[in-house]
Amino acid sequence: MMLNFRTKFIAAGALALSMGLGASAKAQEFINVLTGGTSGVYYPLGVALSEIYGKGIEGARTQVQATKASVENLNLLQQGKGEIAFALGDSVKLAAEGNTEAGYPGKLDKLRGIAAIYPNYIQIVASKESGIKTLADLKGKSLSVGAPASGTELNARAIFAAAGLKYEDLGRVEYLPFAESVELIKNRQLDATLQSAGLGVASIRDLATSVPINVVAVPAQDVAKIGSPYLSVTIPKGTYEGQTEDVATAAVGNFLITSAAVSDETAYQMTKLLFENLDQLTAAHAAAKAIDPAKALDGMPVPLHPGAERYYKEKGLLK
Rounded to an integer, the average pLDDT of 283-298 is 94
Predicted local confidence at residue 211, as pLDDT: 97
28-118+253-314 and 120-252: same fold? yes
Predicted local confidence at residue 13, as pLDDT: 45
Confidence of residue 304 (pLDDT cuts 50, 70, 90): very high
Predicted local confidence at residue 19, as pLDDT: 44
Contacts of 220 (CB under 8 A, 6+ apart): 232, 248
Predicted local confidence at residue 259, as pLDDT: 98
Predicted local confidence at residue 27, as pLDDT: 55
Predicted local confidence at residue 228, as pLDDT: 79
| CA angle centred on 67, ends 189 and 29, rounded to 5° | 160
pLDDT at 307 over 60: yes
User: Mean pLDDT over all residues of the chain?
Assistant: 91
| pLDDT tens per residue, range 53-109 | 999 999 999 999 999 999 999 999 999 999 999 999 999 999 999 999 999 999 999
Rounded to an integer, the average pLDDT of 274-290 is 96
| Domain locations along the chain | 28-118+253-314, 120-252
| pLDDT tens per residue, range 6-19 | 444 444 444 444 44
Residues 72 and 152: beta-carbon distance below 8 Å: no
Indicate the angle between helix axes 42-56 and 264-276, nearest 10 degrees.
Answer: 110
Which region holds residue 98: left if phi is over 0, alpha if psi is between -120 and 50, else beta?
left
| pLDDT tens per residue, range 174-203 | 999 899 999 999 999 999 999 998 888 999
3-state SS, residue 197: strand
The fraction of the chain above a pLDDT of 90, given in percent, is 82
User: What topology does CATH give the domain 120-252?
Assistant: D-Maltodextrin-Binding Protein; domain 2 (3.40.190)
Confidence of residue 221 (pLDDT cuts 50, 70, 90): very high
Distance in angstroms (rounded) separating the CA atoms of residues 233 and 3: 81
Partners of 113 in the β-ladder: 257, 304
User: What topology does CATH give the domain 28-118+253-314?
Assistant: D-Maltodextrin-Binding Protein; domain 2 (3.40.190)
Rounded to an integer, the average pLDDT of 310-318 is 97
Distance in angstroms (rounded) separating the CA atoms of residues 213 and 206: 11
Q: What is the DSSP letter of 238?
A: T
Rounded to an integer, the average pLDDT of 238-260 is 97
Distance in angstroms (rounded) separating the CA atoms of residues 279 and 316: 22
Q: What is the DSSP letter of 270?
A: H
Contacts of 8 (CB under 8 A, 6+ apart): none
Contacts of 142 (CB under 8 A, 6+ apart): 170, 171, 172, 173, 174, 189, 190, 191, 192
pLDDT at 23 over 70: no
Which run of H or of E encompasses 279?
helix 278-284
DSSP calls for 29-83: EEEEEE---TTSSHHHHHHHHHHHHHHHSTTEEEEEE--S-HHHHHHHHHTTS-S
Distance in angstroms (rounded) separating the CA atoms of residues 163 and 219: 9
Residue type, 299: G
